[in-house]
Structure 1
Amino acid sequence: MLPQVGKEFLVRIRSSCRPLFEGRYLLPTNILTGGVTLGLADILEQTRETHKEPDAVREWSRTGRMFVLGCAISPLIHYWYTWLDRFYVGKTLTIVGKKIMADQLIGTPVTGMCYFLGMSLIEGHTVSEGWEEYTNKFGEYYKMDWCVWPLAQMINFFFLSPKFRVLYINFVSLGWDTYFSYIKHRVSQFKV
């Protein structure tokens, strides 16, 4: 059991954070958490890389680019889930299945395309170079996506309030974005 002071502290934190997930603050909250998640995932991936190869140098500019891209992609994700919840109303197995299929067949390819094209542009490469990288890595990341996201989205669509969808996705994405950072930066033909 928590002492009374601890309970009061948790209640204050909860009430002070509540506005971040309502109304006009929801989109900025989703944008910031998306950027932080992608940046943190890159820090985790670079930590793994430097542990594997002690001569490797941590690139903070790479982490910064990942943060910027996370902030840039987050509105797309925010509005995608808003649209899914308006178009497919309810929590029946059929509705949740339709949301998951739409997310896998439309959301995943579009988000991946935005990721690879966005990173290519931020790194100073052309759109065609980003497109080539996307098409080369699409099959690998799309197969992995099917292993992770359908179950995660089932939990998301069945149990969570729509205002917490992107926050939950960002939480699950910490592992997924670490994989994205790995697939993007491993022995890449695009060096910064």
Structure 2
Amino acid sequence: QISKMKHIIKILQRNMSRRSKTNDMKQLVFGKYLLLTNTVSSGLLMAIGDLAQQEIEYRQKILTKRYDWGRLLRMTIVGTTIGPVHHYYYTYLDKLLPKSDLNTVFKKMALDELVAAPLFIAMFFYGMGALERKSFQESHKELKDKFITVFLVDLCVWPPTQFINFYYIPSKYRVVYINFITMLY
């Protein structure tokens, strides 16, 4: 009887030790190294999203090659570049508007659509243009030509996404959540 009890106690201690290690890792990833987490997840999830998009385009016969590795690299670089901007933007927004009541959530959503969305759309087009070796004028023309369409799609996706983000998601998980939705977007 006592040996069974000792065995059960050892198993429980081992499991508690694993949980402690998991909690320690979570503290590092979403605490001390949050900027790194947000940056890496932005680049990685942008890459995964582009791989999925390329697979769809290949199956629809839009692409003749299954994967364009240069495009994938460019998307990863743009995602990795935007990650720190997301990190500091959402950190600032939470300091500017620290509450999570409905009134504050709607203010954050308005700022996100009126300030952040145009900024991030422009960053994407200028960043991709630079990596594709386009001139500033070419990138600017592409942004002008596509901005309204992209912004209208943005208005369909991001307000409900940001409502969930600002109302339900703790601050330290906001950017990873946004990165995940961006991957699907």
Cα 1:8–1:145 change in 2 (3 A) is: farther
1:162 alignment partner in structure 2: 171
2:56 alignment partner in structure 1: 48
After TM superposition, the structure 1 = structure 2 runs for residues 127-166 of structure 1, keeping only pairs within 5 Å, are: 127-166=136-175
User: CA offsets, 1:69-119, max 9 Å, x none?
Assistant: 101111111111111101112011111000000000000000000000000
The CA deviation at 1:128 is 1.4
Q: Which runs of 5+ in 1 are unaligned?
A: 177-192
The CA deviation at 1:41 is 0.9
Q: Of residues 68, 71, 77 in structure 1, which corresponds to 2:86?
A: 77
1:100 alignment partner in structure 2: 109
After TM superposition, the structure 1 = structure 2 runs for residues 1-192 of structure 1, keeping only pairs within 5 Å, are: 12-23=21-32, 25-53=33-61, 56-57=64-65, 58-176=67-185
The CA deviation at 1:161 is 1.3
TM-score (norm 1): 0.83
Identity of aligned residues (%): 31
2:9 alignment partner in structure 1: none
User: CA offsets, 1:9-60, max 9 Å, x none?
Assistant: 676445423311103x111110000000111111011000111118611211
Partners of 2:42 and 2:82 in 1: how far apart?
Answer: 8
Q: How big is the alpha-carbon RMSD for the aligned residues of Structure 1 and Structure 2?
A: 2.0
TM-score (norm 2): 0.86
User: CA offsets, 1:133-168, max 9 Å, x none?
Assistant: 111111111111111111111111111111111011
SS state at 2:48 partner: helix
Q: Which runs of 5+ in 2 are unaligned?
A: 1-11
- The runs of 4+ residues in structure 1 deviating greater than 3 Å are 4-15
Cα 1:155–1:55 change in 2 (3 A) is: closer
1:184 alignment partner in structure 2: none
Partners of 1:36 and 1:163 in 2: how far apart?
Answer: 18
- For the pair shown, the structure with the greater C-alpha radius of gyration is 2
Amino acid at match of 2:168: F
Partners of 1:100 and 1:121 in 2: how far apart?
Answer: 30
Cα 1:54–1:132 change in 2 (3 A) is: closer
SS state at 2:133 partner: coil
